[in-house]
Chain A
Amino acid sequence: MLAAACSKEKAAPAVVATGRAPATATGTTFPQPGAGNPGEWTTAGRDYAGTRYSPLDQITTANVANLKVAWTFSTGVLNGHEGQPLVVGNTMYVTTPWPNITYALDLADAHAPAKWALAPPTVSAAKGEACCDVVNRGSAYGDGKIVWNMLDGNTIAADAKTGKQLWKTKLADIDKGETITMAPLIVKNKVFVGVSGAEMGVRGWIAALDLGDGHVVWKAYNTGSDKDVLIGSDFKPFYAFMRGTDLGIKSWPPDQWKIGGATVWGWITYDPETNLIFYGTGNPGAWNPDLRPGDNLWSMTIFARNPETGAAKWAYQMTPHDMWDYDGVNESIVADIDIDGKPRKVLLHAERNGFAYVIDRTNGQVINAEPYVFTNWATGIDLQSGRPKYVPDKMTRQGVIIRNICPSSTGGKDQQPTSWSPRTKLWYIPATNDCMDYEGTAVSYIAGTPYLGADVRMYAGPGGNRGELVAWDPAQGKKVWGVKENFPLWSGTLVTAGDVLFYGTMDGWVKAVDARNGNPLWSFKTGSGVIGNPISYIGPDGKQYIAIYTGVGGWMGAIASANLSPDDPTAALGATGAAPDLKRYTAPGGMLFVFGL
């Protein structure tokens, strides 16, 4: 297996990372996630590319109807369970929402007892700085270590075998509204971590830590001077509107960039071939756009950076001067696909703003960008300029209620990740079909408190179904089929070599459909809504399993997990209006479910 992986097999039409990383100076080698053992799941998106495609094929469209609960585990936490567990060898690693405990469960024992559990000391005050529930999106494995982020702003590394804490690095300051919720990505000897808090007036950044001892190797801000953003002579944005000096200052009113958001709370991916990491930045602060005339760079932007130095190679701002809170943090899957008969190296990025972008990952050029949900704030993306074609009637401003904007702030899709199958050549998007009324309001910057400046109310979009599983053909830029869901789809998707697609719903169903056509194949009702991401692995018994967290919460599910008042549709930044009935369908409760044949 390893020998085969070492050969230079060119990733066929697909994406699954192959080969091994070069040895470092110390002689240690760092296997690429997903390249070694197909039965493992060692990083959030399974592989560097973030495909969430499992090469396992024991579970098929023909036998998935027989899937049953194999075992379960209660995390004891009642907040929203985004993210996913990891499987390394015979151990499953589970990281909980705050207080961010990591458990190592022994898969070789039918009871799945904990080999170890590590609950680093933390402070409950951190909970008051998290905009959208106290979620955690998972851990990462590298060089014998499990690494995860704490809501209170620390990154922790523990020995994967013993649970001994090896290092702890404080990166974020909750007194300024900074928290960390994202899953780190480990590439070679570096750990990439980004900050949350664009709703609190923070200044967004991404940092690279040394996997060995946790020291900060580089840190790049997403607003401010070129020096702070790590923009240098290598930086070549494809579109003209992003060329210039210190645009991270000049595209803002004076000093507004210092509290301008542009955080990094989504997923990071990596392409060994171009040696670039890819991540997206969040909304500009405040939500009231009248407070920040200008494009507000580098908010709402996909960055491609050199992992060793942090130097930016290219950037692409999807929504200049955001007026709707369409954060650009969603994952960018690394894929090689044929477009118009030519092989292209692309990123697949389903943006909150409703457009599914297919982008040339070597230079940041948009190849196609089409709406994957009902979208009316822009009529399209101009492929010459790279800018959206804004609809004037849907531009928000202070003191005016702009009605019926689609999608809502929660987006055509929020952070819940998509998956890509090199077999079906389809990209599976867990979508939300909501619209909103939005009014910019006055707001004060008070450190450590929400810096919003908007009164928002969301509701179901056209058709009334608030969610849809969308199967998308990225080569054509169009939808192939969809499965409508009552509630917004707030779980990620998993697609397997058995052509089975797994996902969960906020009313508590875990579902399997045929990845080729969406035909329903299997479902199971859990006790709490699903906002986690399914994974697949091979157990010590040689059998394929599916694992997923349940536990409603997150931005959309807070009405159920935090018992919000459904008579206030503006609660939870307007999300309550979109799911006032959720409490009737589900209640809080964090569990891991594992299914097998």
Chain B
Amino acid sequence: MRALVIAGCAVALAAACQRDEGRELPHGMPQGIAVAPVSDTAGGVLPGIHSQVAYGALHNPYTGNVQAERDGRQLFLSYNCVGCHGGRAGGGMGPSLRDSAWIYGNSDADLFATITEGRPNGMPTWGGKIPEDQIWKLISYIRTLRTSGEPDPPPPATQPNR
């Protein structure tokens, strides 16, 4: 199974090289991006069922990469993550990513699985829609939240003078 996933990653990374992550996406879902074939042998692609099997040993190749963290912030805006998880990931339609609670786990593999496969309470399945290297950059950004290295931190909670 892992061999399949890794092979898929390679395809996805190659495809991703043709994209400029900072660029605004055209209307409609990005097309032509390959993804890990989590398929019949793993029992289907229903959200949240197979993550341990498929993703258990994956690690973020961008760990500690500051540019990846900044890119991840831009991707967090471009893929509309911001609409559900909040302007600075404090939550809204979806849960906060700034707190210490992780419904589906917070290992690299858990986060990768959550984004790729989706989760049953509303998280879409992004596998096939976001290239895998970009998923890792999103995870890199999420790791910076509430740290001094957070790109674009929340604005201060002060109010204007009147």
Contacts and interface: CB of A to CB of B under 8 A. Distances in A.
Interface residues of B, number: 40
Nearest to B95: A562
A565 B98 contact: yes
Contacts of B86: 564-565, 568, 570-572, 576
B141 to A, nearest CB: 14
B91 A124 contact: no
Interface in A565-596: 565-574, 576-577, 580
Nearest to A457: B155
Contact of A444 (B78, B95, B101, B157): B78
Interface string A118-152: 00000011111111100000000000000000000
A570 B79 contact: no
Contact of A456 (B29, B87, B154): B87
Tell which of A128, A456, A572 has the most Cβ of chain B within 10 Å. Answer: A128
A449 B82 CA distance: 10
Contacts of A450: 80, 82-84, 93
A128 B93 contact: yes
B66 interface: no
A452 to B, nearest CB: 5
Nearest to B80: A449
B87 A574 contact: yes
A573 B92 contact: yes
A449 B26 CA distance: 15
A202 interface: no
B122 interface: yes
Contacts of A562: 91-92, 95-96
Given A441-B77, A565-B99, A571 B122 contact: no
A443 interface: yes
Given A445-B28, A558-B92, A128 B121 contact: yes
Which range contains the number of A residues in contact with the other chain?
A: 35 or more
A442 interface: yes
Contacts of B94: 128
Given A457-B155, A576-B86, A449 B79 contact: yes
B80 A444 contact: yes
B128 interface: no
Nearest to B119: A128
Contacts of B146: 567
Given A129-B122, A449-B124, A452-B80, A569 B157 contact: yes
B140 to A, nearest CB: 19
A435 B28 CA distance: 33
B70 interface: no
A566 B157 CA distance: 10
Contacts, number: 147
Interface in B127-162: 129, 146, 154-155, 157, 159-160, 162
A459 interface: yes
A569 B155 CA distance: 7
Given A442-B78, A568-B96, A570-B86, A563 B121 contact: no
A460 interface: yes
Interface string A543-574: 00000000000000010001111111111111
B21 interface: no
B84 A449 contact: yes
A455 interface: yes
A463 to B, nearest CB: 10
Interface string B87-109: 11111111110110100000000
B93 A446 contact: no
B79 A437 contact: no
Nearest to B96: A565
B121 A124 contact: yes
Contacts of B99: 563, 565
A446 B80 contact: yes
Contact of A570 (B80, B88, B162): B88
B96 A449 contact: no
Contacts of B80: 443-444, 446, 449-452
Interface in B14-46: 24-29
Contacts of B84: 128, 449-450
B17 to A, nearest CB: 20
A139 B20 CA distance: 49
11 contacts: A131-B93, A442-B77, A449-B84, A452-B82, A558-B92, A563-B91, A568-B87, A568-B98, A569-B154, A571-B88, A576-B86
Closest 5 CB pairs of A and B: A128-B122, A450-B83, A568-B90, A570-B87, A571-B90
Given A125-B121, A125-B122, A562-B91, 9 more contacts: A259-B27, A443-B80, A444-B79, A565-B90, A567-B154, A569-B155, A570-B87, A576-B86, A576-B92
